[in-house]
Amino acid sequence: MPPEPEAEAKLDLKSTLNLPKTDFPMKANLPKNEPVLLERWAGMGIYDRIREARKGQATYVLHDGPPYANGPIHLGHALNKCLKDFIVKSKTMAGFDSPYVPGWDCHGLPIEIKVDQMLGGKKLQMQPLAVRNACREYAAKFLELQSVQFQRLGIFGQFDHPYSTMTPEYESVILETFYKFFENDFVYKGLRSTYWCIHDETALAEAEVEYEDHVSPTVWVKYALQSDPAGIHSGLGEAANKSGKPVATIIWTTTPWTLPASMAVALHPDEEYVGIETEQDIFIIAERLSRATAEKCGFSAENVVARFPGRAVEGSRFHHPFLPWEERKIVGVLADYVTMDTGTGVVHTAPAHGADDFNTGVKYKIDLTCNVDAAGVLRNGLPEYDGLKVFAANHPIVELLKTRGALLHEEKIQHSYPHCWRCHNPIIFRATEQWFIRMETPMDGGKTLRTRTLEEIKKVKWDPAWGEDRIANMIATRPDWCISRQRIWGTPIAVFLCASCGDSVKNPAVNRRVAKLFAEKGADAWYTPEADTLLPADTKCGKCGGLSFKKEMDIIDVWFESGSSHAAVLGHVANLPWPADLYLEGGDQYRGWFHSSLLCAVGTRDAAPYRGVATNGWTLDEQGRAMSKSLGNGVEPVEITEKLGGEIVRLWVASVDFRNDVACSDNLMQRVAENYRKLRNTLFRYILSNLGDFVPSRDAVPYSEMHSIDRHALRQMTAVAAEITGWYDEFAFHKIYQRIMQYCAVDLSAVYFDILKDRLYTSAPRSQARRSAQTAIWKIGEGLARLLAPIMTFTCDEVWQYLPATAGQAESVHLTSFPNASELLGSAGKGEDKAEQDDWAALLQVREEVLKALEVERTNKVIGGGLEAQVKLSAPDPLYSVLQRHEGDLRYLWIVSATRLEKAASPNGGTGITVQVSKADGLKCERCWNYSTHVGEDSAYPTVCERCSAALKEMKS
């Protein structure tokens, strides 16, 4: 709208306009300018300054879940850390002392595997300490890299003092947490069938197992009944086996390699089983599966010669399909887990190679020996398969079954099979000696660890709410926690074992000494002779009286380590109390960190370590596919930061509904960048460019004296601020993003700022009219900088530096609080102008109608620009009275040169208003471009209107 200079003579008039002017750059150049801000913050010690400013306030603690230090950050990290930063910063601006201590998970298999690969054969000759040093260097390198990358995104936190699971202090906390379990009898060492990766040669936790598709050979195998085949005890009945044919059962398995370890056949106690007579045999199988089995094995299920419940077979003896009777006697056992949905209703039982099988083995006192070594090689078997790896042994074992006439059917199935989440190889169950935390350990008050944990889950606020069921189901059904790993890079289970009987020394005084040593020298100390000296020389084994001891060299599960973070970080200083207010991680942490932290805290403190748990979804591409190298659909936060700015990554995080899986692509990032430019220029830059001569202490207009529409704008801003702070409380950042984009584009740019231009540009600079508008946009700009600072961390602080200075103004927007109603509206604005609020609701509706009418006449070519028009409004009461109250403002509201108002007799439909648009009377003012019948009346300024001549006189005086 400001007139362009057309000729020399008119330049003079143009110079009398208050045209927008600011040094706040239109082009953000974020990749270059963000690092400058980072330096500024570092220079002023922003994080410590915030702590200082909030000292003594109520605390809000978001306890950081430690990312794994083995690579640069990816989009999932960026999403998670930005969300945490939004929460921490918004809680801070809401008045809380909300410290943020970032953490890193540094021990564990992935780093050890990487270091293995880097060291190659060299590792074999290295001492454990040298390997641990190599691992530590590797982790430290990525911890440092990730720390820089997180800070580059504008994340504030105690980055100069993070927590890391590989520091001596932290390692001693892990050990003390373990000792609490150990000394209170939660811990036992025992033979168990656990997940085992034969590639990495270690036990795996539930949380370290992923299900992937796998093709397995499936076999139906005959186990001949040895005891009483005439059919007395097995329930075949007196008349049943008149034929004298041999009796056998049929088992079904997808792991033929477990057959050498087969010790029993399990039947369901209550299901009905049948004896089916075929040409050569009588087969015992479940009635419900008899037809399917008969079809597969090629016999008819017609000739049923007996029916009995599964329990009738308990204690019967069967022949192993290929091992001799002298060596292996298969026993009939009962198990509730035998299902009737697939197979034969009879399963072979290899206690060494299955969790259920193992429990059945213990119950029936069956040999639990495992003949598969750590590398997955079968030992002590027949020459056909001895020395082969488990999966390679499948084929020769199937062949062996054929030659023994025991194979009734064979096929391949594709099914979901457990794989190692680190190396992605299929894993097995293997019975080994491991350390466990017993879920049924009774605690104070007589309840078990499992029960107490389930009770604590109910006290936590889970967000989304389904999280509660998810974790409760996991805790309710999980087996004992296998906490030992047979690796080097971690925290050793620092316990002394009797060299003769293997029993562990349970001496709290010794434990304290070990923990102290760890605190001073780190867990490395366990690998030095110094640790040996901690056991008093006269120690005697409590079980066998043995006098010689060795150190347990297994390390502890990394989930136990990170699960101890609450104890390492919280409860030591005043503003980091225990428990945390919030844990926020990806949904996979229900079985990971949320889970292990909960068990660690309930086991040692009888309470959950958090009051609330929130989860974010996965990052996917626009088509909903996971990001992968092969698809080339990955979005790297570091790349986006270098190309578009860290602020764009932050704004993208705010734009998505993080509780669901979230979409990202270069395309979407570009769209966010466009929206960023709108916020930067049409919002902040517009405001700043009109405040160049505004000194709040001198020029600010009290609310009660402001123009009505300026008060309306401030009331609207107050409502937006209330909505936004409410959404911060709900972590509904995507709603904030949507609202702010709409507020900026519609309420401000298209309406208020548009209306203001005439007043801001053409009024005398120091006029009340202009100062009123400046006061309003200053409060809006200043308020929005504070409201959006948790999300637009860089830009809001940049804006802050360009805002007119006020007395005692904070050095950074991050040292301020959210704006509130009394700041925006003053004491006069607290609901006292209800009548004016109602007026504005009506006026803005009328505006819509007038704009429509103007558009019609513009199309009819009656008018060109709006200023060429005048409007005649005719309205009945009560609308007429509203319009009358604001009569002087009406022409500015729809930006025409004049508006006349008439009272209509009665409502004539709709709002009862009629709008007539015609060409404006008078001449065009060369200064403000409005038409006026008064142009030329002032001889001093013959080409301008009466408003402009007044303004020019005011400026002159």
Least spacing, CB of residue 113 vs Zn ion, in Å: 8
Measured from the CB atom, the residue of 353 and 650 that comes closer to Zn ion is 353
Q: Which stretch binds Zn ion (CB under 5 A): 317-325, 339-347, 537-545, 581-589?
A: 537-545
Measured from the CB atom, the residue of 498 and 721 that comes closer to Zn ion is 498
In this structure, what is the dihedral angle of CA atoms 797, 801, 806, 808, given to the nearest 10 degrees?
A: 60
Query: How far are the Cα atoms of 51, 174, 202, 494, 880 from residue 55, in angstroms, in the given order?
Result: 6, 30, 47, 40, 55
Q: Which stretch binds Zn ion (CB under 5 A): 129-137, 265-273, 329-337, 925-933?
A: 925-933
Least spacing, CB of residue 202 vs Zn ion, in Å: 8
**Helix, strand, or coil here: 213?**
strand
Least spacing, CB of residue 762 vs Zn ion, in Å: 6
Region 812-841 residues binding Zn ion, contact defined as CB under 5 A: none
Report cis status (omega within 30 of 0) of the bond before 110.
Answer: no
Distance separating alpha carbons of residues 951 and 933, to the nearest angstrom: 17
Least spacing, CB of residue 590 vs Zn ion, in Å: 22
Least spacing, CB of residue 548 vs Zn ion, in Å: 9
Least spacing, CB of residue 187 vs Zn ion, in Å: 17
Q: According to the binding rule CB under 5 A, does residue 666 interact with Zn ion?
A: no
Least spacing, CB of residue 204 vs Zn ion, in Å: 7
Q: According to the binding rule CB under 5 A, does residue 546 interact with Zn ion?
A: yes
CA angle 265, 267, 270 (to 5 degrees): 165
Among 420, 755, 893, 915, contact with Zn ion (rule: CB under 5 A)? 420
Distance separating alpha carbons of residues 163 and 103, to the nearest angstrom: 5
Least spacing, CB of residue 739 vs Zn ion, in Å: 37
Q: According to the binding rule CB under 5 A, does residue 263 interact with Zn ion?
A: no
Nearest alpha carbon to residue 470 among 613, 601, 597, 605? 613
Measured from the CB atom, the residue of 283 and 931 that comes closer to Zn ion is 931
Nearest alpha carbon to residue 379 among 369, 394, 368, 364? 369
Distance separating alpha carbons of residues 156 and 413, to the nearest angstrom: 52
DSSP code string of 493-536: ---EEETTT-PBP--HHHHHHHHHHHHHH-GGGGGSHHHHTTS-
Q: According to the binding rule CB under 5 A, does residue 935 interact with Zn ion?
A: no
Q: Are strands 304-309 and 461-463 parallel, antiparallel or unpaired?
A: unpaired
In this structure, what is the dihedral angle of CA atoms 694, 697, 700, 703, given to the nearest 10 degrees?
A: 160
Among 36, 58, 304, 544, contact with Zn ion (rule: CB under 5 A)? 544
Region 179-208 residues binding Zn ion, contact defined as CB under 5 A: 197, 199-200
**Helix, strand, or coil here: 457?**
helix
Region 488-517 residues binding Zn ion, contact defined as CB under 5 A: 498, 500-501, 503
Q: Are strands 869-875 and 898-903 parallel, antiparallel or unpaired?
A: parallel
Measured from the CB atom, the residue of 591 and 779 that comes closer to Zn ion is 591
Distance separating alpha carbons of residues 585 and 592, to the nearest angstrom: 10
Measured from the CB atom, the residue of 323 and 423 that comes closer to Zn ion is 423
Residues 794 and 25: beta-carbon distance below 8 Å: no
How many residues touch Zn ion under the rule CB under 5 A: the total is 20
Cα-Cα end-to-end distance for the chain: 27
Measured from the CB atom, the residue of 891 and 927 that comes closer to Zn ion is 927
Least spacing, CB of residue 949 vs Zn ion, in Å: 8
Least spacing, CB of residue 435 vs Zn ion, in Å: 17
Q: Which stretch binds Zn ion (CB under 5 A): 240-248, 420-428, 618-626, 835-843?
A: 420-428
Q: Which stretch binds Zn ion (CB under 5 A): 179-187, 572-580, 865-873, 942-950?
A: 942-950
Measured from the CB atom, the residue of 194 and 775 that comes closer to Zn ion is 194
Hey, what are 287's tokens? 């009635």
Residues 227 and 233: beta-carbon distance below 8 Å: yes
**Helix, strand, or coil here: 265?**
strand
Among 106, 352, 867, 945, contact with Zn ion (rule: CB under 5 A)? 945
Among 132, 715, 891, 927, contact with Zn ion (rule: CB under 5 A)? 927
Measured from the CB atom, the residue of 199 and 739 that comes closer to Zn ion is 199
Query: How far are the Cα atoms of 255, 266, 503, 786 from residue 362, in angstroms, in the given order?
Result: 21, 14, 20, 65
Distance separating alpha carbons of residues 843 and 912, to the nearest angstrom: 13
Q: How many residues does the chain have?
A: 957
Q: According to the binding rule CB under 5 A, does residue 541 interact with Zn ion?
A: yes
Q: According to the binding rule CB under 5 A, does residue 948 interact with Zn ion?
A: yes
Burial label, 957 (beta-carbon count in 10 A; 0-12, 13-18, 19+) = exposed
Least spacing, CB of residue 539 vs Zn ion, in Å: 11
DSSP code string of 544-610: T----EEE--PEEPHHHHHHTHHHHHSSSSTTS-SSEEEEEEEGGGGTTHHHHHHHHHHHHHSS-SE
Q: Which stretch binds Zn ion (CB under 5 A): 723-731, 780-788, 886-894, 947-955?
A: 947-955
Q: According to the binding rule CB under 5 A, does residue 928 interact with Zn ion?
A: yes
Among 543, 550, 671, 830, contact with Zn ion (rule: CB under 5 A)? 543
Measured from the CB atom, the residue of 546 and 936 that comes closer to Zn ion is 546
Q: Which stretch binds Zn ion (CB under 5 A): 52-60, 518-526, 547-555, 945-953?
A: 945-953
Among 453, 925, 931, 941, contact with Zn ion (rule: CB under 5 A)? 925
Q: According to the binding rule CB under 5 A, does residue 663 interact with Zn ion?
A: no
Q: According to the binding rule CB under 5 A, does residue 758 interact with Zn ion?
A: no
Least spacing, CB of residue 953 vs Zn ion, in Å: 13
Least spacing, CB of residue 955 vs Zn ion, in Å: 13
Least spacing, CB of residue 458 vs Zn ion, in Å: 36
Query: How far are the Cα atoms of 31, 194, 487, 531 from residue 525, in angstroms, in the given order?
Result: 45, 29, 16, 6
Interface with Zn ion by CB under 5 A: which residues?
A: 197, 199-200, 420, 422-423, 498, 500-501, 503, 541, 543-544, 546, 925, 927-928, 944-945, 948
